[in-house]
Structure 1
């Protein structure tokens, strides 16, 4: 996973095609161009269409992934985008009083950022072309994949939507959640009041109802300009009172968001009452089935293509790991491609490359994310409550957003959680 030791030596040009101009595909494409590879990216929307379209995600990126963007010279908005310094966590009191039974905040080791993909992807598309890549606007189906595979040494399928990604096939063993667990909504707003503590991803857990989290970001302002905003992420348990997004107009969507805040997290409503939508396209709703797909697709000709990014890893956004997984996956694929030298990108290499990334990192991000989609066991509630008393636990949970592998040490078993609490209590004694 380390990107600090990536080779700098230019390689003999090899031809690579990437289908999908998102976080993973554009990042990897630009990085490979810098190493002398011949790269084409095929996507179905132009930069202008992306800029003027609907929001696509909440895309909060934590420091380890930001470091990869920075390493590849893809941090164009770092000075412009608001920084988020920590994680806050709240649970409403069960008596309906509108107060917080649990509330704490902790600083991240280093801050993170969110740049609206309507800003980032058009900028990266232009950067890809500036570095010498070929950007082709076209729809891609099996015939187009066949043509790309016939003319390129490696084809990477990086698009996360559409029927084409389903051809990769779901990995049932790695995909224990079989249906959508939340009704999802994004609401991009301006005019939010700040908290009196450091800027945080403010996470609110509403037992039996869903979750609400919110954080600052950079979004569009029209005519090529940008502005600061806040992104509301609302996740409702299916069939519950937060499962209310289908068929709403932008105005109705915004009103429903405010009603959720007023009803379930009034402390968040109070600082949001003067908000307004950034633009009519600043909303999104839908449902996601968490999925890990198989990384190799065999085309009718027998040629192989490889999945990456959202095409192979689809997480519920409850932990904000999607863009981080895509970025870290792009970094891992980069290292593997460089290390391959002139050897063929065969099926064994494809499978081994994905397995190394999945087993070395993504597995624990998926495990942690899926754990939050189910009612928490008592020991985990106690752990979250103990974080209010012991800052060391709060800091440990916060930095798990940077690297979810640490949760394996205390998140899943009662004995491990109790051990961490006891250790922090002893330090405080």
Structure 2
């Protein structure tokens, strides 16, 4: 008998997870307050710029139904200005009509970066409605209507697992705020968005982000909507700033689509003139093509206990709610659904108890959530001074520009230099060296990435007792007699000195479902072992749990090799419980499959 799972909410995460589980044979109930037809013809839900890592998840699940129809996004233009004034009226309300509104005394930095793989935006009205239709076609069960706490208790009584994926609605209140991971108690931006036609493309990049200090941000991108291709304009207004629609006592409300479009026009004219010049003839794609509101960025505890004593698990925006300024919401929804899907399908017949729920959420948090939250919160607070220096250098060095825009796909990749000036300087120094190289290092790295590898975490303990860990796919078997292995950390790795002093190390070969550990140990952090299950080996060397193989080694030699150091270790103890390993190929995590010629 298949296990019964209830999912409340049929948005990006809920509909995706419900459909994926139904395809796997689970008995799934999808609770939604609207039918697929009502979603398709209703108001827009998001700007949903999906970057390549999230698109890959949808593709792997066979849910990318719009391939070939979607405008592709390969480049991102970022403009940062110290300030702007409205020259049309002499005030700062953002309602003037002059295009010449950037104060020439204020500095402006602009650059274009290339994404590693294309991004795309499909109107969630199209996407979620199609996924619901597919779910119903597979005999998935729809529960139509609002779900309150009493309804939630009824679902937990009849299902083995209940997941709440209803977004930022009232049901999220059953999950307590996690104060250790939440820094804001009020909205940091007021968002107004429109899907429009009649807007010309930016010749330099498909996706644009313009930030004006004290004013807010404007993002634009091409998209596929219910009526065809269009452009999306998102205004992110700083509360209390010149674009705050609540600012003046006589300010018009933004209750109607027409009022929202006029507000966007005025905002572009007053503070984003380059975009205004592209948007002279814009019109809404349909009368449901606008969105207006504000959210409080919050992280909530993932498990709630209901009055009947049963537990429910929160997912996506319910428990990790980001401001839209970095475009992480829809991407996080996909990644959280993906992690939950893997956790459910690998759990077998064991109970979905509260401990399993917390482990599942923490797996998502380690792999994705923590990075998008910290980066988005920092962006809301203002771009740090050393990051402004990086942006200025990005105008000269394409590799730096690419590194910046890469963060929108994977915020973990910017977390070191965004928060640490020394790492930012290292990024710039590396870019200058690469510019002098006879090879295009981006292309060389891409070519080398075609060699598939396993993924390991190298662990050690420093002489003063601190635990050390870093991700490495450079692990190699060197010799059987004597038993030697090697790995190659970068010469600028923060842990290199401690690794050298440790005198021994362990190689932990990760299992297929441990990609979150790969990401966690690949990123500088005060405590990389936080929340990671592990034991101790020889001389207290940390050993990760549930890996497919493990080697405890004594360092016998170190060899300088260009910008890396080769560590040779003699194996003293090893174990190999086995299982499916994690594979890394062409910049992405992969799974092992038996070749059909040798099945």
TM-score normalised by length of structure 1: 0.93
8 Å Cα contact 1:210/1:235 also seen in 2:
yes
Partner of 1:39: 28
Residues 144-189 of structure 1: CA deviation (Å, up to 9, x unaligned): 1111111110011110132221111111111112210011111111
The count of aligned residue pairs is: 412
Residues 100-143 of structure 1: CA deviation (Å, up to 9, x unaligned): 82111111111111111121111111011112211121111122
Describe the shift of the 1:34–1:411 C-alpha distance in structure 2 as closer, same or farther (beyond 3 A).
same
| d(CA) in 2 for partners of 1:290, 1:393 | 29
The answer to whether structure 1 residue 123 and structure 2 residue 123 are counterparts is: no
Aligned residue among 144, 149, 165 for 1:137: 144
Aligned residue among 165, 171, 195 for 2:178: 171
Describe the shift of the 1:344–1:393 C-alpha distance in structure 2 as closer, same or farther (beyond 3 A).
same
The answer to whether structure 1 residue 90 and structure 2 residue 96 are counterparts is: no
The 5-angstrom pairing of residues 15-164 of structure 1 reads: 15-92=4-81, 96-97=103-104, 101-164=108-171
Aligned-residue offset at 1:46: 1.4
CA RMSD of aligned residues (A): 1.6
Partner of 1:213: 219
8 Å Cα contact 1:23/1:326 also seen in 2:
yes
Residues 342-386 of structure 1: CA deviation (Å, up to 9, x unaligned): 100000000111011102221011111111001222211111111
| d(CA) in 2 for partners of 1:166, 1:108 | 37
| d(CA) in 2 for partners of 1:273, 1:110 | 31
The 5-angstrom pairing of residues 194-273 of structure 1 reads: 194-197=201-204, 199-221=205-227, 227-244=228-245, 246-273=253-280
| d(CA) in 1 for partners of 2:213, 2:137 | 49
| d(CA) in 1 for partners of 2:148, 2:256 | 32
| d(CA) in 1 for partners of 2:57, 2:391 | 31
Aligned residue among 386, 405, 408 for 1:401: 408
| d(CA) in 2 for partners of 1:361, 1:336 | 15
The 5-angstrom pairing of residues 305-320 of structure 1 reads: 305-320=312-327
Q: Secondary structure at the match of 2:222?
A: strand
| d(CA) in 1 for partners of 2:262, 2:146 | 36
8 Å Cα contact 2:32/2:144 also seen in 1:
yes
Partner of 2:556: none
Residues 39-58 of structure 1: CA deviation (Å, up to 9, x unaligned): 01011111222122211111
The answer to whether structure 1 residue 364 and structure 2 residue 365 are counterparts is: no
8 Å Cα contact 1:28/1:334 also seen in 2:
yes
Aligned-residue offset at 1:267: 1.1
Q: Secondary structure at the match of 1:401?
A: helix
Return the structure number with greater helix share: 1
Describe the shift of the 1:378–1:306 C-alpha distance in structure 2 as closer, same or farther (beyond 3 A).
same
Higher radius of gyration, 1 or 2: 2
Listed as ranges, the gaps of 5+ residues in structure 2 are 84-101, 247-252, 437-599
| d(CA) in 2 for partners of 1:173, 1:106 | 34
Residues 254-295 of structure 1: CA deviation (Å, up to 9, x unaligned): 121111111212111111111111122111111110011111
Q: Which has the higher contact order (CA 8 A, sep 6+)?
A: 1
After TM superposition, the runs of 4+ consecutive aligned structure 1 residues lying more than 6 A away are: none
8 Å Cα contact 1:98/1:264 also seen in 2:
no
Aligned-residue offset at 1:99: 9.6
TM-score normalised by length of structure 2: 0.67
Aligned-residue offset at 1:193: 0.9
Listed as ranges, the gaps of 5+ residues in structure 1 are 1-11, 222-226
